[in-house]
Structures are given as C-alpha cells and as structure tokens.
C-alpha cells in the first residue's frame, strides 16, 4: 500500500489492478473499525502484459509499481490513464516492495524459485536509468521501506536490516530481534509490505496479527493491533492500517 495524501493506493496483489480509497476524517469507519469500501479500482491495460501489481509507490506525478510474476517495473500517471503506462524495466527478478525518493526508485528483487538464486535490494532512476544493486546475496527478501533517509528491508528470516540510500554495509535491527524473543515463535516476516516504521516503532505482520514494537528499546513487549491475517500493513501519524477479508481496517497507533 502507499499513502497519497489522505488516499490509500492499493496494489491488486494477484490482479493487474490499482485501487484508491480515501481515508480522510470525513470517512466514517464502521463499528468494526473498517473503512467503507467505496474506493475506485482501475485495471491496467491487457496489452501491457502486466498480470499482477504486487507493490506500489508514488511521487508528485506518477505511481510506480512492481509486477512480481511478470518481472517488470512500471509507472503510470496519477490520473491512471492507460495510455500513460510505461514499463521502466523488464529485467527485474521477482520485484516487490518499491519505494520512490528524490528521483530514485528502490525495490527488492526476491529472486525466488531456486536455492542458487539470491535476492537483492536495488535502485534505479525514475526514468529507468542507472540501475544497480545496493545489497546482494539475500535469502527470501520481502518488505522494503524508507525511514529517515535509510532503507529498511527484511531478509534471511531475521529482523529487519537497514542500509544507506547509496548502499554500504547493512545494519541489522538486533534490538528488534531481542524484542521478538518475548513473543511466541510462530511469527513470520511475510511478503510484500510486512512491516512499517514510524514514530519510534516498527509495526509488523506476525502469524495471526499485527504487532507494534518500540525501537530501539530492547526488551519491550510487542503490542497486538489485530487478530486477523493481514497481508499489508502501513501507518501514518495517527493510525495503523492493514487489509483483511477484502477490506481496509485501522487502529490508533497508541
């Protein structure tokens, strides 16, 4: 998912669609905390060869997306005019978790399917030039996000790591790994947006729910936000959002 002002922009997952839902305060949540599903869904043109939209981000003009099963990265105007769709790369390797920042796209190549294939964190300019690897040799990388000019990603079935925007030596969240020892050991780092960072906390998808953990306070106990089986999680200054059972739900951050 991606925030665009008060709007949640949601990739289709297994479909070649993009959905937009307004989360403004004027939108009343139901008694169960769900945002009413009166958003708009757009389908990408079939001639694009896109079968699914696995992750999405944006800047002032465009939405950028990964098509994981198609090994493509594309962009489309925020009007979602089908004629504006451009494929920026057709050489990705199971791309997911895309982020746009200062004219650069960052994403994960999950590269799954064979033990000999290793994933990576990659970058390229928003016009498709200067594509390169920032971190390589990763096993089962999944989520990627940007927080305070660093990239955070999960891989190797461990706590998230972070790396500078230009690459360098990654730093693993040892504090978060310590925190998770206080949580039942059935958590997984999941796929495509399994954690989000903000306001001194990491919110992450664990089997059976969403948890929030203060960082870098080692030893803190995670707080459960949801008991469903979410697929994405995202937060703003006030709420944590997730999807479940074909709806978008939220809870206060605190």
HEC string for the chain: CEEECCEEEEECCCCCEEEEEECCCCCCCCCCCEECCCCEEEECCHHHCCCCCCEEEECCCEEEEEEHHHCEEEEEECCCCHHHCEEEECCCCCEEEEEEECCEEEEEECCCCCCCCCEEEEEEECCCCCCEEEEEEECCCCCEEEECCEEEECCCCCCCEEEECCEEEEEECHHHHHHHCCCCCCCCCCCCCCEEEECCEEEEEECCEEEEEECCCCCCCCEEEECCCCCCEEECCCEEEEEECCEEEEEECC
- Flag whether pLDDT at 95 surpasses 90: yes
> Strands 40-43 and 55-58: what pairing?
unpaired
Put simply, whether the predicted model's pTM sits higher than 0.85 gets the answer: no
Among candidate residues 112, 187, 190, the one with its CA nearest the CA of residue 154: 190
pLDDT digits (tens, 9 = 90+) for 111-152: 887 777 899 999 999 999 999 999 999 887 877 877 778 887
Give the model's pLDDT for residue 253. 61
Task: Give the HSE-up count for residue 184: Cα atoms under 13 Å, Cβ half-sphere.
Answer: 7
Give me the count of residues in the chain.
254
Domain spans in the chain, listed from the N-terminal domain onward? 2-252
CATH topology of domain 2-252: Neuraminidase (2.120.10)
Q: Are 178 and 171 in contact (CB under 8 A)?
A: no
Mean pLDDT for the stretch of residues 142-166:
76
- Give the whole-angstrom CA distance, residue 21 versus residue 124: 29
pLDDT digits (tens, 9 = 90+) for 182-231: 333 333 333 334 555 555 556 555 555 555 655 544 444 445 555 555 55
| Cis before 98 (ω within 30) | no
């Amino acid at each position: 998912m991606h925030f665009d002002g008060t709007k949640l922009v949601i990739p289709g997952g297994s479909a070649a669609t993009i959905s937009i839902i307004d989360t403004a305060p004027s939108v009343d949540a139901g008694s169960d905390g769900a945002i009413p599903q009166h958003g708009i869904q757009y389908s990408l043109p079939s001639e694009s060869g896109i079968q699914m939209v696995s992750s999405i981000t944006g800047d002032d003009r465009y939405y950028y997306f990964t098509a994981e099963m198609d090994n493509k990265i594309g962009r489309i105007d925020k009007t979602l005019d089908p004629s504006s769709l451009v494929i920026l790369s057709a050489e990705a390797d199971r791309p997911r978790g895309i982020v746009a920042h200062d004219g650069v796209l960052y994403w994960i190549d999950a590269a799954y399917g064979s033990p000999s294939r290793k994933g990576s964190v990659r970058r390229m300019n928003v016009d498709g030039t200067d594509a390169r690897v920032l971190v390589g040799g990763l096993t089962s990388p999944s989520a990627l996000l940007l927080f305070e000019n660093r990239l955070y990603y999960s891989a190797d079935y461990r706590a998230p790591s972070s790396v500078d925007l230009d690459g360098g030596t990654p730093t693993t969240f040892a504090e978060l790994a310590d925190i998770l020892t206080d949580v039942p050991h059935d958590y997984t780092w999941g796929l495509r947006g399994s954690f989000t960072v903000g306001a001194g906390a990491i919110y992450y998808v664990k089997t059976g729910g969403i948890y929030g953990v203060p960082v870098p306070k080692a030893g803190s106990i995670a707080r459960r936000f949801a008991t469903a089986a979410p697929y994405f999680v995202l937060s703003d200054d006030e709420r944590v959002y997730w999807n479940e059972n074909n709806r978008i739900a939220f809870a206060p951050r605190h």
